[in-house]
Amino acid sequence: MTYEEFYYSIDCKFPYHQESEWKRIIGQSIEIAEDAPFLVLHEICRVPASEKLDKSKHMEMYKYWKQSFVSPVQDIVEPASLSYINKIEISDSEALDIMEKLSAFPKSYNALQVVLFSCPDDDELVDEKYENIVAQWKSAT
């Protein structure tokens, strides 16, 4: 399965209430591409309003995701991830700090998006930082 096929197979279709299926998807993501597990993280964190997910189940899913593979990006993006799960925004300055750290890991697009959507971005500085990092990564290839 290609990255694109994987993306469309889970985008807005994540099986939050089917444990064996979300565990399978997490495992599959690790085999697809370096950024694919963070695509799954994005789905885990941004539960649609139409879905009701108990916080303990949400944390269980996140913890399973985190222990399924090793990447320095996991720890960097964790404050933003946990802010979603706990339904609390991080500050714009914290988001900017996290993005700066993530900029050292080219093509971590999905981790960067988790951070982008985890703060209020009142002055649109976080969005600007996001765009600058994406442009920097794209120009390096």
Q: Count of domains in the chain?
A: 1
Surface-to-core class of residue 126, CB atoms within 10 Å of its CB (0-12 exposed, 13-18 middle, 19+ buried): buried
Model's pTM, two decimal places? 0.93
What is the reported pLDDT for 49? 86
DSSP code per residue over 81-114: HHHHHTT-PPPHHHHHHHHHHHTTSTT-HHHHHH
- Enclosing domain of residue 103: 3-139
Averaged confidence pLDDT in the chain? 95
The pLDDT > 70 percentage for the chain reads: 99
Residue range 1-22: mean pLDDT, rounded: 94
What is the reported pLDDT for 75? 96
How far CA 25 is from CA of 21, 30, 41, 81, 112, in Å, comes to: 6, 9, 11, 18, 21
DSSP code per residue over 14-52: --TT-HHHHHHHHHHHHHH-TTHHHHHHHHHHS--TT--
